[in-house]
Amino acid sequence: MEHSQSTGAGLLLAGRYRLGESIGRGGMGKVWRAHDEVLHRVVAVKELTAGRFVAEADRLVLHARTQKEARAAARITHPGVVTVHDVLEHDDRPWIVMQYVDGPSLADAAKEKGPIDPHEAARIGLHVLGALRAAHAAGVLHRDVKPGNVLLARDGRVLITDFGIAAIEGDATITRTGELVGSIDYLAPERVRGGDPGPASDLWSLGATLYTAVEGTSPFRRTSPISTMQAVVAEEPPYPEKAGPLAPVIVALLRKDPEQRPKADEAGRMLLDAMEGRTPEAAQAYVPTQRVAREDLDPVGDGSAFGLDLVELSEDDDGAGARDATGPTGASRPSAPVRTAQWPQPPQSVEPRSPSHPPVSPVTVVPTAAPPAQASGRGRWRTAVLAALLAGLVAGGAVFAAMQYTGGGREGARPTVTGPSSSGAATRGAGSDLPAGWKRVKDREGFSLAVPEGWKRQTEGDNIDYTPDNGRHRIRINIDPSPDFENPYMHALDLERTVEKRMTYNRVKLGQTTYRDQVRACQWEFTWMEKRDFPGPRHAIDLMYYGEDGTEYAIYMSSPESSWETTREQFDIVLQYWRAPGE
């Protein structure tokens, strides 16, 4: 997690691009506002932060992907695609210089102002669709359409960015076995199954993006990547009740079978109708029949409660030959002992989106046992779906990514690692009861913490360090008001996949934890052999948690292995006296 050269505001790249403030970040990089001192214009510079940690072979792959992103964007001539101006290398990492868009992403806009008005969402979708059609005509698939990659300029323009994992017709795919690229809950079902994507895959992602914009929540995000992928493949989303005339368009774009989705030109007409307040009648042909339980739909039993014409299915039939309703193409689906009805707008329950883990005692490592096998038909169906999903991941080269989240291939069952768990003044410390040799520091970023006497503040990019010896021993604080991950555990796993490419990395502990009654917390401890900054064996521990407003706080300490016992004791003191901004 450490590197030798710092980056930040004021850095001059390639003798012409002066970095300003950081304006965005993601799993692979950070975006800076910068000034082109040759052409005297504002540009955006994307820093590939993952390149700080990777081994040489992986760095070459990363560089190749960066070049591919530039080539993909360069092939598309459309005002709705962010222009790439330059690609350069600094600090052994690639950087992309792009058109600067003055305005937030769709994800940021929805987070700041709440769900987007359906007519405005339809307008945004129409612009994104136009950019995607231009990309597809140029032989480029975006493959990562999501709210964070849709930019809303303050002058009303809508642009799509980040072609970093685009598939270019005629190019060899730049990937590695074990990778599933793209944001999981915006991946089309055929991609999750390991199939080849096509233009319809980007349209599905557009549908999921518009759903998130109007409903304020991702339609398929669940409490883990595996359950999210299962939902993408096998579950219908809750009906978009806030979408107004845009609802049937979203439903049409989210058909599981790419052949049953509208083509781009037809989707464009539907979006135009929705934007202008008309109900897109053409979209109704794509609305699938929805399977609902008899007792939930019609407690009387005759269909009169909802005015629906129900089709009786055999209670004894296991799906081999029972009658069933069909979609607009006439394709039949597996039957079940329920009734079916056309899906105009049924209410549905939504699976909880955030994990819930009860508090447990400190300093405990408890393997989480797998739940007992279900004997019911529903349990067998869920098991079959998961097995089929994992089989598809193997075919698509993504089983490694899945195992990272389920704990497979590492330590068996996923552990739960609990750390300090307490709250109130006793935990936070009053400042006057600090241990001897410690002092409380009020940082300019608003937080305060206890540090040993003689430790001084340093910065490295967005990281804030306190160290007595220029980083050989350090406390590192990172604050992210807009984290990219649903919970800290998923963030830590993503970081681990990057760090372990050094080949000397060794996990000591990684698991979910409680901290001051914050259930959304994770503790990660690891060792590695450092070759650059302070050569030799090193040891680190990192506690990440989400505050009530969704801000992610990371409190990290590292030191040489030889002084780890002291560092570990210091870490407990740092956690005890830590105060986030406003506390």
173 and 192 housed in the same domain: yes
320 and 245 housed in the same domain: no
Full domain range(s) for residue 441: 418-577
- Cα separations (Å) of 154 from 23, 83, 109, 113, 400? 15, 17, 11, 15, 41
Q: What is the residue-averaged pLDDT of the chain?
A: 73
160 and 243 housed in the same domain: yes
CATH number of the CATH domain containing 567: 3.40.1000.10
pLDDT tens string 192-240? 888 888 999 999 999 999 999 999 999 998 877 788 889 999 999 999 9
Any residues with CB less than 8 A from the CB of 167 and at least 6 apart, and which? 140, 141, 143, 173, 197
- Selection from 130, 116, 202, 122 nearest residue 159 by Cα: 130
Does residue 341 register a pLDDT over 60? no
247 and 328 housed in the same domain: no
Q: How many domains does the chain have?
A: 4
pTM: 0.54
pLDDT tens string 145-177? 999 999 999 999 999 988 765 554 444 444 444
pLDDT tens string 362-397? 333 333 333 333 333 334 333 444 444 444 443 333
Q: What is the DSSP string of 518-566?
A: EEEEEEEEEEEEE-SSS-EEEEEEEEEEE-TTS-EEEEEEEEEGGGHHH
pLDDT tens string 280-304? 988 888 876 544 444 444 444 444 4
Options 36, 144, 202, 465, the catalytic residue: 144
464 and 557 housed in the same domain: yes
328 and 477 housed in the same domain: no
Q: Is 302 in the active site?
A: no
User: Is 399 part of any domain?
Assistant: no
* 512 confidence band (pLDDT: 50, 70, 90): confident
119 and 239 housed in the same domain: yes
Q: Alpha-carbon Rg of the chain, whole angstroms?
A: 26
84 and 178 housed in the same domain: no
Beta strand 518-530 pairing with 536-546: antiparallel
* Nearest-angstrom CA–CA distance, 338 and 323: 11
* Nearest-angstrom CA–CA distance, 217 and 227: 16
